[in-house]
A and B are shown apart, each in its own frame.
Chain A
Amino acid sequence: DIVMTQSPDSLAVSLGERASINCKSSQSILYTSNSKNYLAWYQQKPGQPPKLLVYWASTRESGVPDRFSGSGSGTDFTLTISSLQAEDVAVYYCQQYYFSPLTFGGGTKVEIK
């Protein structure tokens, strides 16, 4: 199975500041035939289901604010919130969809400092 490891477990960032979340996969999730990284990021607010933010490691889902961006390739990935807003308080998960079983990272809780 592909293990997804997120860091940190939690972080507190001031409003308007940058937040960065890391995700590492235990093996490459870059499919060389199409040069795509099979990595997604989700946001989950309390009492709500997860919401897809980014897929193919860096493609923003329709309607997602451009302060959210994804980067990385192979085994190392980052979700960056360029200017944290109050509504961004949530838990963020990475997920690989390269291989079954599909696996999620443990989550990173983002709070306001």
Chain B
Amino acid sequence: QVQVVESGGGVVQPGGSLRLSCTASGFTFSSYTMHWVRQAPGKGLEWVAFIRYDGSNNNYADSVKGRFTISRDNSKNMLYLQMNSLTTEDTAVYFCAKDAFPGIAAAGAPFDYWGQGTLLTVSS
């Protein structure tokens, strides 16, 4: 069955860095655009970034542009989010999510599978 499992969250000081990982299984990972979505404590959902199924294109929310980098390794069925220059505003649960349809280059599909999320806390 389809599974996406996030890891790598933790407590980081402001200005610090962290890399999140997402392990995918149960589907042809290389055929699906993948996303990171975050949710601050008690708040709503905020899309963070996507990466095209072949890794050739990506895009970011303005709130993280220039600080976060999304990447993937299709040979390992892995998705990553490198986060630099972290601020307290980045504190959230980070979800990895899969496009519902294969071969979508950018926007164009809802998210049909989500991981349980990994918590990032930015605090001194």
Contacts and interface: CB of A to CB of B under 8 A. Distances in A.
A30 interface: no
B44 A100 contact: no
**Contact residues on B (Cβ < 8 Å of other chain), bracket:** 20 to 34
23 contacts: A38-B107, A40-B111, A42-B111, A48-B116, A50-B45, A50-B95, A50-B114, A52-B111, A55-B110, A95-B45, A97-B107, A97-B108, A98-B107, A99-B107, A101-B47, A101-B61, A101-B62, A102-B35, A102-B50, A102-B107, A104-B45, A104-B46, A107-B44
Of B35, B110, B115, B116, the most chain A CB neighbours within 10 A belong to B110
B12 interface: no
Interface of B: 35, 44-47, 50, 59-62, 95, 100, 106-112, 114-117
Contacts, number: 59
Interface residues of A, number: 24
Of B47, B100, B107, the most chain A CB neighbours within 10 A belong to B107
Nearest to B112: A52
Nearest to A62: B112
Interface string A70-113: 00000000000000000000000101011111111111000000
A49 interface: yes
A49 B60 CA distance: 21
Contacts of A50: 45, 95, 111, 114
